Structure 1
Amino acid sequence: MDGVDTARRMIDVAALAAHLAAHPHVTGKRDIDVACAALGLSQNSPGRPGDDAAAIPDGDGWQLMATEGFMNDFVASAPWFAGWCAVMVNMSDILAMGGRPTAVTNTLWAPDAATAQEILRGMKDASEAYGIPIVGGHTNLRTAQPQLAAAIWGRANALITSFDAQPGDVLIASADLRGAYAGDSSNFPAFLNAPHERLRGDMKILPALAEDGLVTAGKDISQGGIAGTALMLAECSGVAITIDATRIAPPDGDLTRWMTAFPSFGFLLTAKPENAAGVLSRFHQRDIGAVVIGSVSSGSALTLGEGSAHHLIWNHAAAPYLGLAPIKEPAHA
C-alpha cells in the first residue's frame, strides 16, 4: 500500500464532509445566488446562467462568453500569476463547455505602470502559451491598488452543459497532476515550464469529447474544488451526486486539501457507464489523470461516500446553492 492510499484511509470521511460544507471555497459560491436573484435570472434566462460560459446559438454552433475577476490581495501579492490566471481560468470555462477559445480582453487597474507591467506580462505569457490572442480591454493606472478582470469569447460545435447530468451516469474527475501547489494556497498549477505544444494539445480534449457525444454534462473544477464544483453540477442538473472518497488520489496524499483545490487543468464530467472508458482514455493518452469518482442518482444531496456509508455535504433542495436549480413545471390536476 502506498503513501497516498494510507493517507486516504486515515481520513475521517464524516468529518471531511462536514468540513467541506463549511469551507469558504465552497460557501463562497453562494454569492452567485445573490447576483442572480437581484437580476431576476434563472437557468432558463438567455445564456443559461449556472454554466461555465454563456452559450448563444449561432448558426450550427454556439458563441461562448465568460468572464473572471480576481481578489485584490491575490493580484497584489502574485501579479504575474494573476495575469496568467486571467487567461487560463477563462480558457477552462470555454473548454468546459466543449468550446475552443477565440480571444481575451482585460480590465486592469494599477497604481503605476510598473505594477501593471508584471500583471500584463503574465497575461502575455499565457496568451502565447495557449495560443489565445488578447484583443483589447480597459486600463487605468491611477488607482490605489491593482485590480484585474478578464473576459473571453469562444465557439462550440457541440455543447457540454451543467444541466444534463442524468441518474445512472458516472462522475469522472480529470486533472493534470504534473504540477504542485503554489505555496500554501489551494492553487495547483500544472502549466509552469510545460511545453506550449503540450498545453495546446490538451486543450483539444474537451471539444472532441463534446463533438463525439461521450459526456452528458460537465464543469471545470473551479475555486470550490471538487466538492463545490460537484455541488454546482448537481443543483444545475437537478440530481444527487455521490463522491467515493476512496477513488480519489490526491497528488500529495492530502485528500482534505485536494477536495477544495483549484487545479490549472481540471474538470468534472458525467457520462453513461458504457462511455466512461472512452472518456478516461482521452485524458490518459495525454498523461492527464482521470478516474471515475462517483455516481449520479435521483435526488438533491451531494454526499461523500466510503463503502456503504454516505455523509451529507449539502442538499441543494433544502438549501439552494447557486439558486439555479431547474424550474419545475407546475402540477396539473
Structure 2
Amino acid sequence: MTVAVSTLDDLAETLRSHPSIRSKLGIAQAVQALGLTQASEGRPGDDAAPLPRAEGGFDVIAGEGFIPGFVSDDAWFAGWCAMMVNLSDIAAMGGRAVALVDQVWAPDAATAQPLMQGLRDASAAYGVPIVGGHTNFAAKELSIAASVFGRAKRLITSFDAAPGDTLIAAIDHRGSYRNFDNFCAALEAPGPRLRGDLEILPTLAEDGLVHAGKDISQGGIVGTALMLAECSGVGMTLDLDAVTPPAGVALDRWLRSFPSFGFLLATTPENANATCQRFAQRGIEAAAIGTVTPGSAITLHQSGAETLFWDHAAHPYLDLGVTDA
C-alpha cells in the first residue's frame, strides 16, 4: 500500500487524534499527582518496575486495570487479559512471571464467574499461578485489576534506545480482532506455545541481543514507539513500507492495534537479523521497521514521503522528565 504525501499527513493526524493513542496522556497526570519521575524508584515509564536484588538480577512488578466498558462487553476475555497483558509487561522487561494477584469487584459471585473463569483459563495456559488478591461481591458493577510479580536476570528497558539502533516490531499474526482494536493470537494457541513465545524475550536480553524495548500496548506501534522514544530521549523514524498488517487489516488500524503478543525492540544493527530469527523460528512475524535517531521527533516514512507524527520535546506524551527538587 502506497500513499501520497497529503495522505500520509492525514494518516499521522488520524493517529495523533485517536482515543487509544491519546489515552496515554493520562499517565502524565497520574505521575505528577504522585510526585514521580523516570528517576523514581522502579523507573516509571517502563512496562514493569524493576527492583534490584541483593544477589543479582531484578524483581519486576507490573499491574493492569480494565475500563468498565471492556469488562462488561466480554467478561471472560477481560479475565484472560488480566493475566495475558501482565505477562507481556514482565516479558517486555526481559523477565519471567512468577505469580499473579487479582482484584475483582462485582454485584455478586454469579456475575463475577465468567471473569474469574477467564483468569483461571489463562493461568492454566500460561502456567503462572494466581496466588490471591482482593474480592468484593457488593459492588455496583463488574471490574478487575491484577498485578504480577516476576524476576529478570538482565533487563530490557524503555530508557536505553540509542541513535543508530534498529527498531524491530515482533507481532504474532496468527489471530483476529476480539473487540475494539484488540488483536488476539492467544486463544487458539496451546499453552506450551504461549509459554515458549514469551520465553523469547528474557533469552534475547540474557544473550545481549536486545537492550531496549516495550510491549506494544493500547497505543499500538506508533504510540509505543513514541513512549519508547520519549523515555530514551531520542527520536525515531518509522518505515511504513516495512510494516505488514495481517491480511485484510487496514494499515491505520494496525498501527494503533493492541496485539496479544507484540513487542517493539531496539537492537544494534548487527544484532537485528539474529533477533528477528528468534521470533521467526516460532512462527512470529518480526521485521526491522525503523531506526532510532537523535532529537525528539517521531516521523513516518512511506514511498519517499515523510511526515511528523509527534515531537515529544514540544509536546510531552508521558511527561516523565526529571523535575527540579
- Please give the range of the TM-score, normalised by the shorter of the 2 chains: over 0.9
Give the Å deviation of 1:76: 1.2
Q: Which moved more, 1:301-310 or 1:72-81?
A: 301-310
Give the Å deviation of 1:200: 1.0
Aligned to 1:3: none
**2:150 equivalent among 131, 147, 154:** 154
In 2, the alpha carbon distance for the partners of 1:35 and 1:191 equals 31
Aligned to 1:164: 160
The number of residues matched between the two structures is 320
Read off the aligned partner of 1:163 and give its amino acid letter.
F
Q: Is 2:201 aligned against 1:206?
A: yes
In the TM superposition, what are the counterparts of 1:295-314 in structure 2 within 5 Å? 295-314=291-310
In 2, the alpha carbon distance for the partners of 1:36 and 1:196 equals 36
Aligned to 2:229: 234
Contact 1:239 1:300 (8 Å CA) reproduced: yes
User: What secondary structure does 1:108 align onto?
Assistant: strand
In 2, the alpha carbon distance for the partners of 1:77 and 1:217 equals 35
Aligned to 2:268: 272
In 1, the alpha carbon distance for the partners of 2:102 and 2:129 equals 11
User: What secondary structure does 2:41 align onto?
Assistant: coil
Q: Which moved more, 1:82-91 or 1:245-254?
A: 245-254
Aligned to 2:50: 55
Aligned to 2:253: 257
Give the Å deviation of 1:192: 1.6
In 1, the alpha carbon distance for the partners of 2:224 and 2:173 equals 18
TM-score by length of 1: 0.94
User: What secondary structure does 1:159 align onto?
Assistant: coil
Give the Å deviation of 1:14: 1.6
**2:104 equivalent among 96, 105, 108:** 108
Aligned to 1:120: 116
Aligned to 1:20: 15
Aligned to 1:140: 136
In 1, the alpha carbon distance for the partners of 2:323 and 2:225 equals 21
Deviations 1:43-91 (A, max 9, x none): 1100000000000000210000010000011111200000000000000
In 2, the alpha carbon distance for the partners of 1:196 and 1:103 equals 16
Contact 1:166 1:216 (8 Å CA) reproduced: no
Aligned to 1:9: 2
User: What secondary structure does 2:101 align onto?
Assistant: strand
Read off the aligned partner of 1:286 and give its amino acid letter.
R
In 2, the alpha carbon distance for the partners of 1:179 and 1:306 equals 26
Q: Is 2:126 aligned against 1:130?
A: yes
Deviations 1:226-281 (A, max 9, x none): 01100000000000011111111111341010011010000000110000001000
In 2, the alpha carbon distance for the partners of 1:261 and 1:324 equals 24
In 1, the alpha carbon distance for the partners of 2:291 and 2:10 equals 21
Aligned to 2:62: 66
User: What secondary structure does 2:117 align onto?
Assistant: helix
In 1, the alpha carbon distance for the partners of 2:39 and 2:252 equals 35
In 2, the alpha carbon distance for the partners of 1:328 and 1:174 equals 34
Deviations 1:150-170 (A, max 9, x none): 000000000000000000001
Please give the root-mean-square deviation of Cα atoms over the aligned residues, in Å: 1.3
TM-score by length of 2: 0.96
Give the Å deviation of 1:328: 9.4
Contact 1:13 1:245 (8 Å CA) reproduced: no
Contact 2:3 2:302 (8 Å CA) reproduced: no
Aligned to 1:31: 26
In 2, the alpha carbon distance for the partners of 1:152 and 1:328 equals 29
Aligned to 1:4: none
User: What secondary structure does 2:114 align onto?
Assistant: helix
In 1, the alpha carbon distance for the partners of 2:255 and 2:188 equals 25
In the TM superposition, what are the counterparts of 1:185-200 in structure 2 within 5 Å? 185-200=180-195
Read off the aligned partner of 1:175 and give its amino acid letter.
I
Read off the aligned partner of 2:45 and give its amino acid letter.
G
Read off the aligned partner of 1:235 and give its amino acid letter.
E
Give the Å deviation of 1:29: 0.2
In 1, the alpha carbon distance for the partners of 2:157 and 2:239 equals 23
Aligned to 1:88: 84
Contact 1:104 1:132 (8 Å CA) reproduced: yes
In 2, the alpha carbon distance for the partners of 1:28 and 1:170 equals 27
User: What secondary structure does 2:178 align onto?
Assistant: coil
In the TM superposition, what are the counterparts of 1:320-331 in structure 2 within 5 Å? 320-325=316-321, 327=322
In 2, the alpha carbon distance for the partners of 1:30 and 1:253 equals 26
In 2, the alpha carbon distance for the partners of 1:298 and 1:162 equals 16
